[in-house]
Amino acid sequence: MNVLEIRGLSVDYLSAGGTVHAVDDVSLDLRRGEILGLAGESGSGKSTLAHAIGRLLRPPAMITAGSVVYHRKDEQVDVLKLAPKALRAFRWKELAVVFQSAMNSLNPVMAVGAQIDDVLRIHEPDMSRKARGERVVELLRRVGISADRRKSYPHELSGGMRQRAAIAIALALNPEVIVMDEPTTALDVVVQRDILHEIRTLKDEYGFAVIFITHDLSLLMEISDRIAIMYAGRVVETGTAKELHRSPRHPYTLGLLRSFPKLRGPREDLLGIPGTPPDLRDLPPGCAFHPRCQSAFDDCGRVSPRLLPGPHGEVACLLNENTGVEVQA
Amino acid sequence: MSGKVVLEGRNLTKHFTAARGPRGRLGRRPPVRAVEEVSLSLRAGSVTALVGESGCGKSTVARLLAQVYPTTSGDVLLHGEAVRAHRGAAFRDYRRQVQLIFQDPFASLNPFHRVRYHLARPLRIHGHVRSAAEETEQVAELLERVSLTPTDQFMDKMPHELSGGQRQRVAIARALAVQPVALIADEPVSMLDVSIRLGVLRLLEKLADESGLALLYITHDIASARYFAEEIMVMYAGRLIERGASEELTQSPKHPYTQLLLESAPDPDRVAPPGSTRRGEPPSLIDPPSGCRFHPRCPVAMPVCSEKTPPRTQLGDGRWTECWQYEK
């Protein structure tokens, strides 16, 4: 069952040098209680997409088309059409966001406990001070911070603890969806491993769904249930983590997988991807990936591939359109 | 273990004293013990990796080797001779032989100047060119070496017109301009996109190979060190704790910290992801743990670990580790 349905979402940045199509006609489903990984390089539009879902975009960014439908128990709402008051109630309570740098997302002049309390006080005005205090301690404990640190300020905590505190705030109101934008990128591998484990445990316990955004595909393959790969503002492939790892269908996904040095097994040759990511103001015609694609043929420079269902997941590649899928349709 | 030792650090130790902050006993501020007794040697034509988490002191080692600041104790040796060169002609002469590449190619190029300016300056300062024609020729040659072609187009570009990978190539070309014997690359690819990291690492590898450069590759990514370095040294909380040929070290790590580091790295080939270790975080370097600095997080710590610093245990073939487990 889907908790969030993104349909045909497009976001433009208006700039003097031309319009940047940061997110272009993206459709994605988020199922209840799953971790959906969103992978892509810088400039692929993954963070813009996350901001659009939380209605956090500011000019010059503009949502030009599409909808983000959130499913409550008995009703559906389009997040993009929520009035300010309804939006306020929606945030934190139903959808929370955790950003990359907890140093920037936490208030530096407020103790972490007070910041969690703040969310509770605003969104649950009926809660007593004592109940809030207990909830704060409970939340901190859940993310692995001892209760006596609730009076600590962000600068007194290590990077890992800050990120845990940011996760505690996101959990405060038991949301259905948590968007995590590169939550572990600034952390060391050992600490990252602990936080990832924490996210999975909390998810199993509370049953929220996660959109997990990162450029690190190997990390996503471990933590996600399903993965969507973005390139130049579009989703180019979706599938379960296992399928994507075993048999990637889009040449870009394949290239990404072959760019990671492996820790175990034989030292295979790394192939990488030639060239550089495209300029979003001046995208190549047809498939945006074709100038870097080793399997590109003539049509790739003319026809823009659609995201079509394949034997597993979906893929936007002309190679796929010409083989198998046409027969099905 | 091919070439001759070019650059060497012997018992490098660096303590930083905070300019502000609370004073300890006797009114002195406690120093940050960033690097303790680190010894390493870089060989011509070979890539050595220094791996560790942030805050472990790996960048400080890079800066000590590059003479950016003086050591608290210990020596930097270039071609076997101890050097202390921090300013003036001696420093300039040292910089002609040992060059640095930094993590952030957005910060290391001057946004107001063209590529040509960045590459021509070291050529002029170090007296490699005499005329404008010679300058253009050598700048073109440098761009060619880092595969920024067509060179005449790249020469007149501004940094903002280049992608991250291209900027890092310009930074590498600038380091090569003075024809150094040693190159210290401090996280040269961690700011770059995954798909272009490989190209930059290949370039560094090729340069080490072709020009006989001694290359120190500093990184937090041990998987990339496995691919691009011949030997790996692992650093934890200011000390080197294990050294070995890259394949052996990554396939059979000895020190519990190296094992933890390898276990924690994401690896989609693994059948089941490992659980949380909950081993806490790296220690403060103002008041590091006694004995082995890893003992508070170590799963196999023994009483001796918190009392005495473990000695270096040689395991053959240049492989060693500093852990009480291997000491008989």
- Residue recorded with tokens 């003036």: B88
- Asked if B156 is an interface residue toward chain A (Cβ–Cβ < 8 A), one would say no
Would B92 be classed as within a structural domain?
A: yes
Confidence band for B2, pLDDT divided at 50, 70 and 90: low
How many Cβ atoms sit within 10 Å of the Cβ of residue A139? 23
- Chain B residues whose CB is inside 8 A of the A42 CB are 164, 193
Searching chain A, which residue's CA lies closest to the CA of residue B194? A259
In the block, residue with structure tokens 């089941």 = B272
Contact B267 A192 (CB under 8 A): no
Q: Give the pLDDT band (50/70/90) at residue A310.
A: confident
Cβ atoms B278, A145 nearer than 8 A: no
Determine, for residues A197 and B276 on separate chains, whether the beta-carbon distance falls below 8 Å: yes
Domain region containing B312: 5-18+31-268+278-326
- Facing residue for B193 by CB, picked from A144, A265, A277: A277
User: Is B273 inside a domain boundary?
Assistant: no
- pLDDT tens profile B219-277: 988 988 998 999 999 999 999 999 999 999 999 999 999 998 888 888 777 656 666 55
Name the phi and psi angles at A318, rounded to 5. Answer: -65, -30
On chain B, the residues whose CB falls within 8 A of the CB of A194 are 276-279
For residue B48, tell me if it sits in a domain.
Answer: yes
**pLDDT average, residue stretch B200-218:** 90
What is the structure's pLDDT at A14? 85
User: What pLDDT does A103 receive?
Assistant: 65
pLDDT for the residue A325: 40
Q: For B1-148, where are the alpha helices, taking DSSP H only?
A: 58-65, 88-97, 115-125, 132-145
In a domain, residue B25? The reply is no
pLDDT given at position A86: 87
DSSP A91: B
Residue A127 CA to residue A131 CA, distance in Å, equals 6
- Per-residue model confidence as pLDDT tens digits over A112-147: 999 999 989 988 888 888 989 999 998 888 888 888
pLDDT digits (tens, 9 = 90+) for B47-89: 999 998 877 888 899 999 999 888 899 999 999 888 888 788 8
Helix axes of B164-176 and B132-145: crossing angle, nearest 10 degrees: 120
Number of other CB atoms surrounding residue B252 within 10 Å:
11
Find, among A182, A11, A109, the residue nearest to A118 by Cα: A109
CB distance from B54 to chain A under 8 Å?
yes
Instruction: Please answer whether residues A48 and A57 qualify as being in contact, where contact means their C-beta atoms are separated by less than 8 angstroms.
Output: yes
Are B293 and B246 in contact, with CB atoms under 8 Å apart?
Answer: no
Q: Does B199 touch chain A (CB under 8 A)?
A: yes
Across residues A22-40, what is the average pLDDT?
A: 91
Q: Is residue B112 part of a domain?
A: yes
Q: Is the pLDDT of residue B33 over 50?
A: yes
- Tens digits of residue pLDDT in A149-200: 888 888 888 777 888 888 888 888 888 899 998 888 767 788 788 888 888 8
Question: What mean pLDDT is predicted for residues A66-89?
Answer: 87
pLDDT at B278: 63
Closest B-chain CA to A184: B266
Residue whose tokens read 């704060």 = A136
pLDDT at A324: 42
**pLDDT tens, residue by residue, B124-135:** 888 778 888 889
Interface of A with B (CB under 8 A): 41-42, 144, 158, 160-161, 188-194, 196-198, 201, 215-219, 221-223, 241, 245, 255-256, 259-265, 267, 270-274, 276-277
Pairwise CA distance, residues B134 & B145, whole Å: 17
Query: Does residue B161 form part of some domain?
Result: yes
What is the ipTM, given to two decimal places? 0.75
Residue A328 has a pLDDT of: 32
Confidence of residue A45 (pLDDT cuts 50, 70, 90): confident
Provide the pLDDT for residue A238.
Answer: 92
Contact (CB, 8 A) for B246 and B49: yes
Q: How far apart are CA A187 and CA A312, in angstroms?
A: 33
Q: Is the pLDDT of residue A326 over 60?
A: no
Q: Where are the domains of chain A?
A: 2-94+175-328
> Which residues of chain B neighbour A261 with C-beta distances below 8 Å?
221, 223-224, 226-228
Q: Which of B274, B271, B269, B272 is nearest to B261 (CA)?
A: B274
Cα gap B46→B49, rounded to integer Å: 10
The structure tokens listed for A26 are 């993206």
Mean pLDDT rounded to a whole number for chain B? 87
Specify if B240 maps to a domain. Answer: yes
Question: For chain B, what percent of residues have pLDDT higher than 90?
Answer: 40
* Domain A2-94+175-328 architecture: 3-Layer(aba) Sandwich (3.40)
| Range scoring the smallest mean pLDDT among A94-103, A226-235, B224-233 | A94-103
Beta-carbon pairs below 8 A across chains A and B = 115
Q: Which pLDDT band, with edges at 50, 70 and 90, does B165 fall under?
A: confident
Q: CATH number of the domain that B77 lies in?
A: 3.40.50.300
Q: How many folded domains does chain B comprise?
A: 1
What pLDDT does residue B20 have? 66
Choose the closest CB to B53 out of A144, A188, A270: A188
Interface of B with A in 232-291 (CB under 8 A): 247, 250-251, 260-270, 273-279, 281-282
